[in-house]
Amino acid sequence: MARLILEEKNKLRLLLQEDFLIISEFRALKLDKEAQQFWWQAVRNLKGNDLLAAAKIAQQWKWHKQAILTVARAKYWDDVALRFPIEYEQGIQENASKQQLDTAIIYGLIRRESMFDETAGSPVGAMGLMQIMPKTGRQIAREINYPWRSKSILLQPSVNLKFGAYYYRQMLDKFDGHGI
């Protein structure tokens, strides 16, 4: 109980610091990209319990990438919920079931590929939670009769999960069940 009280006090103290107030203002103005970029300035000099508290704040805000990377900087390996979030549960379960995949595989791929950042993009152009290339996405849309408007649909979690699970099943079938 004392640990939880300490964590809450640390979070409140951080939220009142200037950097975190600026982040909160960006968030209030719906400037999430700017807020997330400013995050790294806010946590750069934090250590120990303050880093853990910052990671918990990021988790509350559903900024899983920042939470994962911040808790790693704290070298705090025991908080499994921070390091391996359970998000998009319904979509993952539905698509894993439809493609006869273990949900743990989907969670692992998402954590590795995007750290649960639905807006993630790679230098080579892969997009979304499961990092699907637009050309691959267009091909999948054709195969499953899904309306393709533009590559931006890959940033929609429901579409990305559907396409990602479908594609992973295709690859397993192609390579005789051998995972990546």
Which pLDDT value is given to residue 2?
53
**Residue 120 to residues 93, 116, 143: CA-CA distances in angstroms?**
21, 8, 24
Produce one character per residue of 106-115: b if its CB has 16 or more CB atoms within 10 Å, e if not.
bbebbbebbb
pLDDT at 5 over 70: no
- Gyration radius (Cα) of the chain, Å: 18
Q: Which of 4-18, 31-45, 88-102 has the lowest mean pLDDT?
A: 4-18
Q: Does domain 2-83 have CATH number 1.10.1240.20?
A: yes
Domain extents in the chain: 2-83, 89-174
pLDDT at 137 over 90: yes
* Selected catalytic residue, list 7, 25, 113, 118: 113
Look at residues 169, 170, 154 and name the one whose alpha carbon lies nearest to residue 114: 154
Which pLDDT value is given to residue 14?
94
Q: How much is the mean pLDDT over the chain?
A: 94
CA distance 119 to 31: 14
Q: What confidence tens digit (pLDDT) does each residue in 61-105 have?
A: 999 999 999 999 999 899 999 999 999 999 999 999 999 999 999
pLDDT at 1 over 70: no
User: What is the crossing angle of helices 2-15 and 48-60, to 10°?
Assistant: 80
Contact between 35 and 43 under an 8 Å Cβ cutoff? The reply is no
The stretch 52-63 carries a mean pLDDT of 95
Which pLDDT value is given to residue 3?
59
Which pLDDT value is given to residue 139?
98
> Residue 60: is it exposed, middle or buried by C-beta count within 10 angstroms (0-12/13-18/19+)?
exposed
* CATH architecture group of domain 89-174: Orthogonal Bundle (1.10)
The stretch 1-13 carries a mean pLDDT of 75
Which pLDDT value is given to residue 177?
73
CA distance 169 to 162: 11
The stretch 163-178 carries a mean pLDDT of 93
**pLDDT-above-70 percentage for the chain:** 96
CB atoms within 10 A of CB 3: 8
Verdict on whether the full-model pTM lies above 0.85? yes
Q: Is 113 a catalytic residue?
A: yes
Which pLDDT value is given to residue 6?
63
CA distance 85 to 7: 19
Which pLDDT value is given to residue 89?
97
Q: Which of 3-12, 57-66, 75-84, 155-164 has the lowest mean pLDDT?
A: 3-12
Query: Which residues does 43 contact at the CB level (< 8 Å), separation at least 6?
Result: 51, 54, 70, 73
